[in-house]
Structure 1
C-alpha cells in the first residue's frame, strides 16, 4: 500500500480473525495462526485497530456485548464496534450499514479515506465502499465463496459495483500488504 497514511483498520471477527464462517461465541473462539502478531504490527505503527462485527447472538441472549468486547480487547483490539441485532430486527447498525464505521470516525476523528475494512463477506466490503474506506477481502471463513461469486459475476445491483482493493489469503497477508513500504 506504500506511504499512504493509515489511521484505522476495521476487522471483521468470524471467519476473518479466526473461527469459521459460523459464529463461535466468546470462550470457544480461537484466532487463526499469526493474527495476534499482525494486530501488534498494526498497533506498533500507531494504527487504531477496531473490531467491526455483527453478533446477533447478543439479541438472542446467547452471549453479551461485554463478553465479545472483553475477548476482542484481549486479542489486542483498541475499540469494538458491534451490532447486537438479528437481521430481521431491521436495525440501522447491522453491516452492510456504515453506522458503526461512521460512529467510529466521529468518535476517533478519522478520515475514512485513510481507513481500511478487512472482512470475509461482501457485506464488509459494501460497508467499506459506502464509507469510502479501503476494502480487503480475505479468503478465510466465507471469503473463498465470496471471492468465487465475485469472479463469476454472481453479485447484482449495488453488490456488483463493489470491487476489493486487495484480495488476501488471510488477515496476515492483508496486514503485510498494508504495512509494506
Structure 2
C-alpha cells in the first residue's frame, strides 16, 4: 500500500495564526488540491493528520471542524481526487494527550488502521512537530516550505533524513516520478 499522511494547515491549505474557524476561512494552497488528486488517481491512499486545538480552546466545535473538512473533501473530489480519512487531535496543548503531534499517537493509530508498518509511514508537514512525530516511529519526514515550513527549515534541528520540497505539488511530482513508496527514500 502506498500511504501518504498530510498535515492540513500549511500543507493543504493556507494557515492562519488566528486558526481556521469556518469553512469560508479554508483556502487551498495553490497546487495542493491538484497534488492530492494526482496522487490518489495514481493509487496513493491520502490521510490527513492534524492538530486542531481550536476545538480544545473552545474556538470552534467539532461540528464546525467537520464542515471545514467537508469543504476540503468536496474541493479535492471536484478535482478528481480523494482523501481516505482525516484524523485530528482536538485537545488543548496543555492536556498532554498522546494524539497531539509531536507525540506519535495519531500516526500510530493511522498505521494500525491501515495495516502498515509504522516505519513505512511518510508524513508531509510544515512544522517540526509533524516531522518529529513520524521520525519518532522511524517513518519518513517530509518538510514543505509552505505554511510555517520556511521558518521550520531556517530553525534547523530537523530529524535525520528529512526531505525538503517547496510545496505539496513538488512532493507529488517526486513520488509519482519514482512510484515506489518508501523505497524512494534514504534510510
Q: What is the TM-score normalised by the length of structure 2? A: 0.81
Deviation at 1:137, TM superposition (A): 0.4
Cα 1:129–1:88 shift into 2, 3 Å:
same
2:78 corresponds to 1:56? no
Structure 1 contact 7–114 (Cα < 8 Å) conserved: no
User: Which residue of structure 2 lines up, in the alignment, with residue 3 of structure 1?
Assistant: none
Extract unaligned runs of 5+ from structure 2: 77-81, 179-187
Q: Distance in 2 between matches of 1:34 and 1:53?
A: 20
Aligned to 2:177: 180
**Secondary structure of 1:180 counterpart:** helix
1:94–1:68: structure 2 CA closer, same or farther, 3 Å change rule?
farther
Tell me if the contact between 2:12 and 2:33 (Cα under 8 Å) persists in the aligned partners. no
1:83 aligns with 2:89: yes
How large is the RMSD of aligned CA atoms in angstroms? 1.8
- Compare the two structures and name the one with the higher helix fraction: 2
The question of whether the paired residues in 2 share the 8 Å contact of 1:7 and 1:110 is answered with no
TM-score (norm 1): 0.84
| Equivalent pairs, count | 167
Matched, 1:70 2:95: no
Runs of 5+ in structure 1 lacking a partner?
1-5
